[in-house]
Amino acid sequence: MKKALLYISLGVVMLVTACTKDFEDINTDPTQTPPTNFNSDYFLSGSQYNYINGITGYNGSILFQSGWAQIFASTTSGAAVYYSNMDKYVTSSNTNDYSGRGFDLGYKGARLAQEIIKNYGALPDKVNVVSAATVMKVLCMQYITDLYGDVPYSQALQAANNVTTPVYDKQQDIYNSMLSDLDGALTAFDATKAKPAADLFPYAGDVAKWKKFGYSLMLRVAMRMTKADIATAQKYAEKAAAGGTLSAVGEDAWIKGDNTNGYRSENSRALITPADFYSVRWSKTLMDYLKSTNDPRVTKIAEIPDTGLKANSDPLVITGDNTYSKQMGQPNGYDLNGGATDIKNSTGYPGGTGSGDNFTPIGKYSRPRAAIYTNLNSPQFILTYAESELLLAEAKARGWNVGATTAAVHYANGVSAALQSLAPFGADAVINAADAAAYAAANPLNVTSQTASLKMINEQYWATTGILMNFVEAWNNWKRSGYPVLTPVMYVGNFSKGQIPRRQLYPTTESTANPANYRIGVSNLNGGDDWLSRTWWDK
């Protein structure tokens, strides 16, 4: 009953916010209703929902970062031409729309969090929901600035004060503000006061878990700065470790899809679309990495479809062969067009399956296992204990004061947790703790040099976030760390000069809705509003 009421309330929040025009949300009052007429606690679930909606499915990440980070590959065949954006860096008819959606949904999430802060900030008994809202605001804002660069922060979400053309803050200033805001919110959490209501995370408003999540987010924000401001990165990584980060797989932050109530997993929604079901495969880069260490996740996440075109393209046929030895990733950058870049011309091409009208040339490449990833009620991951431990391993490898635990132990914890984090996908995805620990013990951190350690840590971080389909995080951490070393696709007509894109383009509406500040933001990018321009922390 509580879950049903939560989604009913979330539906009200979505209805309240849906009437504003896309990309104007940053400057618009979301409710037009005094707080006395609505329980603002429910804006927390709205903020969470908009955030997860932004980092999943067709709202950008599966069409951009899933291939940029070489987690997925696609021949972009048939109706699934939009996968050209991610696999080949080639535009489709709606590329600009896809590129702007992160801005839209990120600010929707931040705006709902800001409503809680505005309505409850002066009420001592509401300190925990205000603190949780501040954490959500930072989560949303990091997502936005990491995608685009300079964006409104200090004057954002201030339409009630008649600020309708907010300044674009520099990313460095945004990062410093986010860390300061997190610090204040996490210190303010008070277990003696009321829990946050309407929590879509598996925390049920538990204040201790929210604090750990917040400090893990602080760690992630801090580590993003390692190439841009190492002193501040170290300061806040150490502060996060002292505050207490996520400490068990059971504290992972994710949101379960609820298709019955209209809040399905957007990644699953994409993958059960027939054209996508056929066209999307695990990349050769990822599968080669996993199989190099006999990673037990391979048989949980991958399968070879049943023989023939129909079995490959019908999302109602969810059976497949997950035998370890048969799994093979598809190389990025190939098509089915019969020319030089036809998949049949790729190195090591394994051949197709079926015959005649039922032949498919990609039938022997591994797809995301249907029993795991096509369930519309599947989890959508935000931040996990595994990620936190891997970041602590890096901080320790850098010699920072993040506690007595060694980098090797943090790494082992992270690897073991990464395997166990699949459990919310269902029984078919479970890797038990003993097997996970055994795998971690058999593949210890290389501590012969700092470089060797950082490489191993960040490759594992990439695989872990990618497998959980947090493609934006996999891509962002690749940009920051440089690991794994990825070979860009060089495909005719690409929009990024044969290089992996480093950012998304601002929404086209910003040049007319907020032109002066938009131009300033663009001028601060080293190459203008371009896919290859690097933001402040991406050195």
Q: Where are the domains of the chain?
A: 2-258, 282-373
Tell me how far apart the alpha carbons of residues 234 and 14 are, in angstroms, rounded to a whole number. 39
Query: In the prediction, which pLDDT does 12 show?
Result: 46
Query: In the prediction, which pLDDT does 162 show?
Result: 87
Low-confidence ranges of the chain (pLDDT < 70): 1-38
Q: Helix, strand, or coil here: 342?
A: strand
Query: In the prediction, which pLDDT does 1 show?
Result: 42
Query: In the prediction, which pLDDT does 512 show?
Result: 96
Structure tokens at 536: 């402040």
**Residue type, position 118, single letter:** K
Query: In the prediction, which pLDDT does 79 show?
Result: 77
Reported as a single tens digit per residue, the pLDDT across 256-288 is: 999 998 889 999 999 999 999 999 999 999 999
Q: Are 67 and 332 in contact (CB under 8 A)?
A: yes
Torsion, CA 5, CA 8, CA 13, CA 16, rounded to 10: -140
**Residue type, position 513, single letter:** A
Reported as a single tens digit per residue, the pLDDT across 361-414 is: 999 999 999 999 999 999 999 999 999 999 999 999 999 999 999 999 999 999
CATH architecture, domain 2-258? Alpha Horseshoe (1.25)
Query: In the prediction, which pLDDT does 248 show?
Result: 99
Which residues, including other chains, have CB under 8 Å from residue 48's CB and lie 6 or more apart?
109, 136, 199, 200, 201, 255
